[in-house]
Amino acid sequence: MSRRALRLWGTLFLAALAACPATMAGAATPSHAPAATAGIQTAAARRPATGTRHRRSRARRAPPGGVVWARNAIVVDPATGEVLYQKNSAAAEPCASLTKMMTALVLLEQKPDMDRVVEVTQAELSGGGHTQLRRGEQVRIGDLLHMSLMCSDNVATRVLARESGLAPDDFLARMNRKAVELGLARTRFVEFTGLDERNVSTAADIATLLHTAAANETIQEISTTRSYDFRSLSAKNRTRLHHIGTTNRLLGRYDIRGGKTGFIQEAGYCFATWIHTDSRDMIAVVMGAPTNATRFADVVRLVQHTSTQGVAPGGL
């Protein structure tokens, strides 16, 4: 092959090499770029959607109106009676174990001997729900009152009513007369514990009831106790050690002056408490909260809301 031919073939070969990367790159760009672009667009599209879902999820978790999940609520200044917040506070609803504040008031009016030992019978145990007490057990009146107010024991509450010195009908009548005396116009009791959904009250009435109950030194002391130990005597004359704790989860977090929890299916989760803050005292009541934890979270939000927002519009 001549030198001229070699130069020609070399020129053509170099031209082909120069053209190939461009051709290959040109071919690769259309095939890969759409996929990469699509991937970027898909990820970008997903991110806002995910963020939207998170925002919607957070929005669903926010209480209606931004304050409480409970159906009924109120916050009152106990010093002035000023209503700081309210939501359906005049609607009569089942009040569950908030009833026990009234039971305790009527019992203490009878001036019982707190050291007197009484017996638990099957009558109190039947349908009383969860309890540490057993048939034939011998327990002090004062210990039973701690069980009633701290851990909302229905059996203990029934024994207290039986041992009050009043006949059951008279004790119940006294509970309802006391409600009238306190101005609890929409409150009605048909039994001592709150297990019956026909025990009804309003958030506003319960706030007044708690104000009266917490003014009683014995009730205030018991309802602000976090844990309590006592001994009883079993039916076989053996000593039993009892340890009970409060159902009020806010004790220890706030300066609490009194309070009571309650729950039955018809009432939902209820909670009434007297909280002392740096700025003012507040009595907060929630009724019909959807979960145990929610009722306490609702009260915390109420305290924060009223502390920062001042008096809410409305009233009773």
Q: Tell me: the pLDDT tens digits for 120-171?
A: 999 999 999 999 999 999 999 999 999 999 999 999 999 999 999 999 999 9
The pLDDT, as a whole number, for residue 60 is 53
The pLDDT, as a whole number, for residue 215 is 96
- The C-alpha atoms of residue 83 and residue 99 are separated, in whole angstroms, by 22
Q: State which amino acid sits at residue 70.
A: A
Q: What percent of the chain has pLDDT over 90?
A: 72
- The C-alpha atoms of residue 44 and residue 218 are separated, in whole angstroms, by 64
Give the count of beta carbons closer than 10 Å to the beta carbon of residue 90: 15
DSSP state of 70: S
Is the torsion defined by CA of 116, 121, 125, 127 positive or negative?
negative
CA neighbor of 212 nearest in space, from 146, 272, 271: 272
Specify whether 178 is catalytic. Answer: no
* Region 237-247 average pLDDT: 96
- The C-alpha atoms of residue 18 and residue 195 are separated, in whole angstroms, by 91
The pLDDT, as a whole number, for residue 307 is 79
Query: Quick check: 191 pLDDT over 80?
Result: yes
Pairing of strands 117-119, 83-87: unpaired
Q: Which member of 87, 89, 148, 152 is catalytic?
A: 152
Specify whether 152 is catalytic. Answer: yes
- pLDDT confidence band for 103 (50 / 70 / 90): very high
Going along the chain, which residue ranges are E strands? 72-76, 83-87, 93-94, 117-119, 138-140, 200-201, 227-233, 239-245, 255-264, 268-276, 281-289
* Region 299-310 average pLDDT: 83
Share the mean pLDDT of the chain: 84
Reported pTM: 0.79
Specify whether 148 is catalytic. Answer: no
Binding residue ranges for substrate: 260
Query: Quick check: 47 pLDDT over 70?
Result: no
Rounded to the nearest 5 percent, the helix, strand and coil shares of the chain are 45, 20, 30
- pLDDT confidence band for 172 (50 / 70 / 90): very high
Binding residue ranges: 260
Furthest-apart CA atoms within the chain: distance in Å: 134
Q: Give the tokens for residue 16.
A: 């082909």
Q: Which member of 100, 148, 201, 223 is catalytic?
A: 100
> Could you tell me the strand order of the sheet in which 117-119 lies?
117-119, 138-140, 227-233, 239-245
Q: Which member of 97, 148, 223, 232 is catalytic?
A: 97
Q: State which amino acid sits at residue 245.
A: G
CA neighbor of 92 nearest in space, from 27, 157, 187, 231: 187
- The C-alpha atoms of residue 52 and residue 291 are separated, in whole angstroms, by 27
* Cα 107 → chain centroid: 28
- The C-alpha atoms of residue 274 and residue 127 are separated, in whole angstroms, by 31
- The C-alpha atoms of residue 260 and residue 99 are separated, in whole angstroms, by 9
